Amino acid sequence: MAGERIRLFAALDLPEEVRGALVRWRAPLLAAEPRLLRPVASDALHVTLCFLGQVDAAEAGAIGAAVVASAGGDAPGGLAGEPGPVPGLALADALWLPRRAARVLAVELVDAGGALARLQARVAGALTAGGWFEPEARPFLPHVTVARVRARGNERAARELAAAPLPGVPSLAFDGAAVTLYRSHLGGGGARYEPLARADLR
C-alpha cells in the first residue's frame, strides 16, 4: 500500500508586529469586498520560500532537518548557511498575483541587502539536493499573501477589483524571525498550517 502523501512548504515567519500591521491594512479592503476576498488567518501570514507540494509523509523528518540546517548552518548539498536574523526587510507595495489573472492579494517585501534571497537559495538548494523540490524557472519574488480571491462565479468582479488602485502599505522595517517547514491541511474554511520543524533566526 502506498504511503501517506502530505502537502509541505518552507516559509519565513513574520514578527507579530508585521502580521498585525498587515491585518490592519487589509481590513478596509476585506470590509468592502467580503464576498470576493477571503483573508489569510493572521497567524498564517508568512513568506513562502519553497512550495514542495505532495510528498511522502515518511520523508517529513529528513525534509525538516534539511530546512533547519540550510536556514542556520551547513546545508545538505554543500551550501553554507548564515546563522542569525535576516535583516533589511520591509513591507513594500501591494500587488495582485498572478498579475494577469488575480487570485491572491499580496504585499511585496523589500530585501535591501539580499539576505532573504540568499536564504531562499540555500533552502531551495538543500531541498533540491534531497530530491524533494524542483526550482521554479521564475525568479524568487518575496511577498506575503494576505487574502485570496473567490474568483469562481466572480470573474468580472475580480477583474474590476484588480484594476482598481490599491491603498499604500505602511512603511515597516523588520528582521526575519524564523524559517519553518509547514504541513498544509486543506479544508472548506481555507488551509490550516501545521509547523513540523523550525529554525529560529533571532
Catalytic positions, written as ranges: 46, 143
Nearby residues of 15 by Cβ (< 8 Å), 6 or more positions away: 174, 175, 177
- Give the residue from 61, 63, 85 showing the smallest Cα distance to 9: 63
Yes or no: say if 143 and 169 are a contact pair by the CB < 8 Å rule. Answer: no
Containing 40, the helix (H) or strand (E) segment is none
Residue 96 pairs with which residues in a beta bridge?
105
Residue 148 pairs with which residues in a beta bridge?
38, 104
- In whole angstroms, what is the distance from residue 67 CA to residue 122 CA? 9
Q: How far is CA 61 from the centre of its chain?
A: 21
